[in-house]
Structure 1
Amino acid sequence: MKKNDKNLIEKFLRFGTHLKDEIFSCMPTRKSRVIYKKIPKNILVIFPHGIGNMVLFTPVLENLKINFPDSFIILLLAPRNTKEVITDSRLFDTIIEYDKNQKNSSQLFFDIVKIFKNANIDLGLSFSMSAEFPRLMSLSKVKYRIGFKYNYRKLKDVNYLLHKSVLSDSNKHEVLNYLSVLKLIGITDFIIKPCFYFKKNLPYTVREKLKNDGLNYKKNVVGFHTGSFLDMIEKRWPPENFAKLGNLLTKNFSVQIVIVGGEEEKNYINKIIDKMDGYVKNLAGTLNLKETAALISTMKLFVSNDSGPMHIAAGVGTPVIGIFGPTNEIKNSPWAHENQIVKVIRHPMNCAPCYIPYSGKISCKNNKCLRSITPEDVFSKCEDILFNTE
């Protein structure tokens, strides 16, 4: 390998370590039952999506690792903190982050192509609806390429770059859509446990970090996520409804409310807290993603818009209520572990869901689907969970 190539690898690769520490893990042991005729030495997995989707995607990595335990797995991810979902796992060997929106993205694209050519990749799996990734795999000389079938007029011309493909079904849960790609190589016996991975001692560490914030862990802690990506604010249940729900919970149950989120959501959350009684803590921007997941794992209940933290809560086994409006709950609902309580609330409307998958576009701006859901509607579901988990 040339010196320049080594520099590229040092620049763009971050090697995952097989941690010896105990981790919060959902992956049991099972022998391989793969029908794929060749054992790939190097596998490329392309998944340029967000945090919540990454939680739902972990069963793909688990089942790949079960069926190809000796293969070297390379992940190509978007730089959205997505990697934090799995960095404490043993599901991969290397992560490359690729930001197609950065200024020198074209140069980065071809630098990555050069790296992948040198890596001599046997099997490539693309879980993106972007046409650039089949092209990337083809240019990188990936020997066998599979992924989602492109059914849009402008993108159909890239289907020939994939040896096998499958359509993503809008009436099927995203977890099952992701796993349908593995069926193309004969993997059909699945372990399905979406998970967020962290070290087992992290919840204790987080409690120590927050011990001066007045949180009483002998009481029931209920978590809220009231926000969303700034370009998807249409997914937010009205803030005054979260405030009223919090008041109903603190009045009727001995609970403390903790609201999590990113730094950019802090002021938005403070406006909600101004309308709330009882103990409520704004932790937006206080904890990193792993710490947030660890804290959520200790909660009695988590109530959230359709967002990454909703899937994190499901991925760490916490009872969760997801509030849905413009997005499709069939495709995007939190996935329950065995014996885990997961509830989804939405009011049926002819115009919903109106979100166009993979586009970031929502056709309705008045959010009547979410505004029609009252605090009392959500409180009723909270009651069921809090009474049944005492």
Structure 2
Amino acid sequence: MNVLIYRLGSLGDFIVTIPALRLIIEKHKNDRIVLLTNSRYDGKVVIAEELFPKGIYYDDVIYYPLKLRNIIELMKLIIKLRKMRIDILYNLNPFDTRKQNTLKYLFFKLAGIRKIYGLHWMKANKPVIDSDGLYEKFGQAVLRNIGFDATISNINCRYCLGEENVVPNLGIEGKYFVFSAGSKAKIKMWDISNWQKLFNYLNQYSGEFTAVAIGAEEEYGINQKIIDKWLGKSINLSGKLSFKEIASLLKGAFFYIGIDSGLMHLAASVGTKVFSIFSSQDIPGLWFPIGDHSIFYTDIECKGCRLNECKIGNNICINHISPELVVKHLIRYLEYKDYSAGVVYVERNIIQKV
């Protein structure tokens, strides 16, 4: 039997679907599995093969450009899929609109695929919202949409890690924490002054921890302005590590602190405690990391705007989250070994849309 997994996105998008990938593999362990995904579209994007080489979650991969609209190229893809004689499709993109669902369903039917999970003819995929107003996590929505149990306690990205610990080779001794302040979307950025204040507060632990910065090469500068405030040992590794090296580094960290990003999901997936400062650009809950982590999110009228730049100004939602609030929970973790988290710290209805 030939199985096709359809998933678009980059680092974080793939990590949150690991539970679904694992269940699909378990169900089809004797079948051939092919991944259909997007090709690289941005220098900062991590594509599927960098995360999971062939032979782990799939046997082969087909890449195509995002927003492919050329009829000839679409027909070539249909013909290629028909020749592969795909029996089953799993769509791991759970929030398609009615139009997207219908067009994709039609496309894959033209490709000769008989059984389709996660795409519905003339029907939109709707998220589940709990009594606290939090949306189900993306990974849970993926599982529910393809008909699996949506209960997830952790991700456990064991394949994200290399076989050896890279930390000794980086010159890091003793305990360390990792942070990253950069993002492709400006609206997700916590102001640098907030980061610097946070590090000033945390300097009471500067003799105990090494501060380690990670991120893309172009984020080296902003991370350096923050790490300069650290009075203890520090190292800026932005743009200097491979994906597996970053995963190994995060695995050994005492905690990770950052904004909504793929690195946040990677840290959570290797079992590291995460403190994440969220923009309200997306709906609350959807992209929160899976596991017992501390999340900071402002409930504002314009939440879920999906913009890359704030129209109100100054990223008002994320910058309403104070360094004092974040450090309060960091200290509780450091001083009292309080791993409870799993608590979402939502400041409700403080700001009104202007």
Give the TM-score category using the shorter length: 0.7 to 0.9
CA deviation map 1:281-307 (0-9, x unaligned): 211100022211111111000001011
Cα displacement (A) at 1:311:
0.6
Secondary structure of the 1:333 match is coil
Contact 2:6/2:91 (<8 A) preserved: yes
Contact 1:59/1:192 (<8 A) preserved: no
Q: Distance between the aligned counterparts of 2:26 and 2:158, measured in 1?
A: 17
In the alignment, which of 288, 304, 329 is matched to residue 354 of structure 1? Answer: 304
CA deviation map 1:69-100 (0-9, x unaligned): 21211111223323133338732222222222
1:75-86 equivalent positions in 2, closer than 5 A = 75-78=35-38, 79=40, 80-83=45-48, 84-86=50-52
Structure 1 residues 277 and 88 mapped into 2: Cα distance closer, same or farther (>3 Å)? Answer: farther
Count of aligned pairs between the two proteins: 319
In the alignment, which of 68, 80, 85 is matched to residue 115 of structure 1? Answer: 80
Structure 1 residues 243 and 295 mapped into 2: Cα distance closer, same or farther (>3 Å)? Answer: same
Alignment identity in percent?
Answer: 23
Q: Distance between the aligned counterparts of 1:362 and 1:73, measured in 2?
A: 41
CA deviation map 1:25-81 (0-9, x unaligned): xxxxxxxxxxxxxxxx11111111221121110111111122222121111122332
Cα displacement (A) at 1:190:
6.0
User: Root-mean-square deviation (CA), in Å?
Assistant: 2.8
Q: Which residue of 2 aligns with 1:193?
A: 154
Q: Distance between the aligned counterparts of 2:312 and 2:118, measured in 1?
A: 31
Gaps in structure 1 of 5+ consecutive residues: 1-40, 150-158
In the alignment, which of 108, 111, 135 is matched to residue 140 of structure 1? Answer: 111
Q: Which residue of 1 aligns with 2:188?
A: 235
Q: Distance between the aligned counterparts of 1:311 and 1:292, measured in 2?
A: 12
1:169-318 equivalent positions in 2, closer than 5 A = 169=128, 171-183=135-147, 187-188=148-149, 193-198=154-159, 202-204=163-165, 206-211=166-171, 215-216=172-173, 218=174, 220-229=175-184, 232-252=185-205, 254-318=208-272
Structure 1 residues 310 and 45 mapped into 2: Cα distance closer, same or farther (>3 Å)? Answer: same
Q: Distance between the aligned counterparts of 2:160 and 2:320, measured in 1?
A: 40
Q: Distance between the aligned counterparts of 1:365 and 1:72, measured in 2?
A: 50
Gaps in structure 2 of 5+ consecutive residues: 130-134, 339-354
Structure 2 letter corresponding to 1:331: L
Structure 1 residues 196 and 362 mapped into 2: Cα distance closer, same or farther (>3 Å)? Answer: farther
In the alignment, which of 359, 367, 371 is matched to residue 315 of structure 2? Answer: 367
Cα displacement (A) at 1:122:
0.9
Contact 2:187/2:315 (<8 A) preserved: yes
Structure 2 letter corresponding to 1:366: N
CA deviation map 1:191-234 (0-9, x unaligned): 65324344765452x224413xxx21x2x2111110111xx111
Q: Distance between the aligned counterparts of 2:310 and 2:55, measured in 1?
A: 35
Q: Which residue of 2 aligns with 1:376?
A: 324
Structure 1 residues 239 and 72 mapped into 2: Cα distance closer, same or farther (>3 Å)? Answer: same
